[in-house]
Amino acid sequence: MKLKKQALAFVMTALVLLSALAGCADKGAASSAQPSSQESSETLQKETVRVAALKGPTGLGMVKLMADADAGTASNGYQFQIANSPDEVVGKITSGEIDVAAVPTNLAATLYNKTKGKVQIAAVNTLGVLYVLENGENVKSVSDLKGKTLYATGQGSTPEYAVNYILAQNGMKAGKDVTVEYKAEHAELATLLISGKASLGVLPEPFVTQVLQKNPKVKIALDITKEWDRAVEKSGSGKSALDMGCILVRTDFARENGKAFDAFLSEYQNSQEYVNQNASAASSLSEKYDIMPAKVAEKAIPNCNIVYIDGEKMKDQVSDFLKILYQSDPKSVGGALPGDDFYYARSD
């Protein structure tokens, strides 16, 4: 009887031990499967990056990233602002209200000089978006412009410098061999071409697409980006391309948030590639985010020269491009060529 009681006690003790061990194991499994609330909050926390995009070609390449941010799949917590003109962006960059912006490349150089190096260029995002449109079919080359009147927009900015440089490298001078008449607004010149009141004009996208859609008699006569490349080859002006648009970042932000900014650049590059490869879907996003109407965007995207160029290639191209602008008019780049610290280098 005594032996039976001892055996029963042993069994009960063993069961208690097994139950305790099972409880510990369950607890350990639960602990490894579910992170603490502190770990969870650290995982969910994303760096805030405030980004300004312009309506038009320079903003088009950002629409997929905007959609990813809305879906919560982007690596950073992006806050996007859409601006109508570069002037709206300048004050916000210099005041620190935004961290990153898509702006004209010569404006980036001007801001670098104005702020004494407080901004950097991180990537080229658009090459030339300018085209010579003709109501007719007489212009096949730059030399065919001689003796004609060419209407244009963008006096005192990159379009004027580009036209003058291309004419010069083809043995002509604006105002002497070709009459260049400037209009204040793209829309004004587009209306003249649509109505037939102007036979030759230089316009950027998406106005090119709008004109072609409304007047089938108007054709693209010259691609200014290609003519720039030919002019550079003739003049031996280094590795310059018509780098019209870029990504600008506040130097302090890039220094203090290097990982977050590099993540932005990777996601932005993917967004640019997506837009080029998926014009229809990207055009819908363009309308959703108020960059340009979907019908216009789908036709315009192939002509917008959306690219992503960073690192040494960016530095080589942009520095030679800015030299050409500087030689044309020092004011076009803020009075001086930027130093090496103007060019942002990714850490990865």
Q: pLDDT at position 87, please? A: 87
Given a cut of 50, the residues of the chain with pLDDT beneath it are: 1-43
Model pLDDT for residues 119-162, shown as the tens digit of each residue: 999 999 999 999 999 998 899 999 999 999 999 998 888 899 99
Q: pLDDT at position 29, please? A: 35
The model carries a pTM of 0.83
Note if the bond before 206 is cis, omega within 30 degrees.
Answer: yes
**CA distance linking residue 196 with residue 52, whole number of Å:** 37
Model pLDDT for residues 254-265, shown as the tens digit of each residue: 999 999 999 999
Q: pLDDT at position 45, please? A: 73
Q: pLDDT at position 282, please? A: 96
Q: pLDDT at position 75, please? A: 94
Q: pLDDT at position 320, please? A: 95
Q: pLDDT at position 44, please? A: 53
Q: Which long-range contacts (CB under 8 A, 24 or more apart) does 323-328 make?
A: 323/237, 323/238, 323/240, 324/161, 324/165, 324/232, 324/237, 324/240, 325/106, 325/158, 325/161, 328/161, 328/164, 328/165
Q: Where are the beta strands (DSSP E) in the chain?
A: 48-54, 77-83, 100-104, 119-126, 130-135, 149-153, 179-183, 200-204, 218-223, 245-250, 306-309
Q: pLDDT at position 37, please? A: 39
Q: Distance from first CA to last CA of the chain, Å, rounded?
A: 78
Q: Which domains does the chain have, with CATH numbers?
A: 46-127+243-342 (3.40.190.10), 130-235 (3.40.190.10)
